[in-house]
């Protein structure tokens, strides 16, 4: 008998819990629908799903405001808007961080010009070394051409080592020329970066000078 009573009490408690979880928030719901009618109910009003509803205490005081129920498309649109706003805030924050770091690195125009000159100076040094190597290769080629002159009528009769040296010389010249072209591209890239930075820095320097 005691066991049966315990089981019955347990089932009753379970039903009470389920009912409490599914029951609507107690209070009085009120709103004005699309036709301008003021509606009141003891639960959420379907006619006002597209607009704000007020939940009142039994005393008539405001308990809370309940926003309109959104459709799937409206929720997707709202989520997209919120995502866009977050991305924009992150972009602005990142831009401010970059500006702060840039200003700390270049507090004035002289510092910026100095670093540009150093960067371009390194490129120039490498380019000059490649140009010097081209001069050496040109001198070497003249000597090889002098030796090949003997085989001018039929270059295939030239010794294999001589023909190999001529070929390697040509390949080395091509490599150095490509290297110099790459350094010229790098110089343009560096100048472009410093030019872009300078535009931003002028704005930052003007801001801190006010």
pLDDT digits (tens, 9 = 90+) for 115-172: 999 999 999 999 999 999 999 999 999 999 999 998 888 888 899 999 999 999 999 9
Cβ atoms within 10 Å, residue 183 = 20
Which of 35, 204, 42, 1 is closest to 108 using CA atoms?
204
- Count the neighbouring beta carbons within 10 Å of the beta carbon of residue 126: 15
What pTM was estimated for this model as a whole? 0.58
Length of the chain: 210
- Return the number of other C-beta atoms located less than 10 Å from residue 14's C-beta: 10
Give the model's confidence band at 25: pLDDT under 50 very low, under 70 low, under 90 confident, else very high.
Answer: low
- pLDDT category at 77 given cuts 50, 70, 90 is confident
Percent of the chain with pLDDT over 90: 64
pLDDT of residue 105: 95
Categorize the per-residue pLDDT at 70 as very low, low, confident or very high, splitting at 50, 70 and 90.
confident
Q: Which of 164, 165, 159 minimizes the C-alpha distance to 141?
A: 165
The pair phi, psi for residue 30, each rounded to 5°, is: -145, 145
Range in 24-28, 39-43, 76-80, 118-122 the model is least confident about: 24-28
In order, the DSSP letters of 47-58 are: GGTTS-EEEE-T
Other CB atoms within 10 A of residue 201 CB: 21
CB 209 within 8 A of CB 173: no
Mean pLDDT value across residues 36-64: 90
Write down the pLDDT at residue 67. Answer: 79
pLDDT of 209 above 80: no
Give the residue with greater pLDDT, 191 vs 156: 191
**pLDDT of the residue at 11:** 39
Residue 108: name the closest of 9, 205, 206 by CA.
Answer: 205
**Residue in 21, 22, 40 with CA at minimum distance from that of residue 31:** 40
For residue 18, the model assigns a pLDDT of 37
Using DSSP's 3-state secondary structure scheme, residue 159 falls into: coil
DSSP characters for 133-150? HHHHHHHHHHHHHHHHGG
Q: What is the pLDDT of residue 51?
A: 87
CA atoms within 13 A on the CB side of 80: 6
Report the pLDDT value the prediction gives residue 109, as an integer from 0 to 100: 95
Check if the beta carbon of residue 48 is closer than 8 Å to that of residue 69: no
Q: What are the structural domain ranges in the chain?
A: 24-71, 98-209
Please indicate whether residue 44 or residue 6 has the higher confidence score (pLDDT): 44
Backbone angles phi, psi at 35, to 5 degrees: -90, 0
To the nearest whole number, what is the mean pLDDT of the chain?
Answer: 86
CA nearest neighbour of 148 among 167, 129, 130, 123: 167
The per-residue pLDDT for range 98-126, each reduced to its tens digit, is 999 999 999 999 999 999 999 999 999 99
* Cβ-based neighbour number of residue 123 at 10 Å: 18
């Amino acid at each position: 008998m005691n066991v049966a009573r315990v089981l019955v009490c347990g089932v009753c408690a379970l039903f009470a819990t389920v009912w409490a979880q599914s029951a609507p928030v107690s209070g009085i719901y009120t709103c004005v629908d699309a036709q301008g009618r003021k509606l009141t109910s003891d639960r959420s009003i379907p006619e006002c799903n597209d607009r704000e509803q007020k939940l009142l205490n039994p005393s008539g005081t405001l308990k809370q405001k309940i926003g309109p129920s959104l459709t799937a498309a409206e929720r997707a649109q709202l989520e997209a808007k919120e995502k866009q706003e977050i991305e924009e805030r992150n972009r602005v924050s990142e831009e401010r961080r970059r500006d702060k770091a840039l200003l700390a690195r270049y507090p004035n125009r002289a510092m910026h010009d100095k670093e540009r000159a150093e960067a371009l100076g390194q490129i120039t040094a490498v380019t000059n070394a490649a140009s010097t190597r081209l001069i050496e290769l040109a001198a070497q080629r003249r000597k090889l051409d002098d030796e090949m002159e003997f085989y001018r009528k039929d270059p295939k009769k030239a010794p294999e080592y001589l023909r190999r040296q001529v070929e390697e010389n040509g390949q080395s010249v091509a490599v150095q020329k490509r290297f110099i072209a790459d350094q010229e591209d790098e110089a343009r890239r560096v100048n472009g970066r410093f030019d872009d930075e300078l535009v931003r820095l002028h704005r930052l320097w003007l801001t801190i000078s006010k």
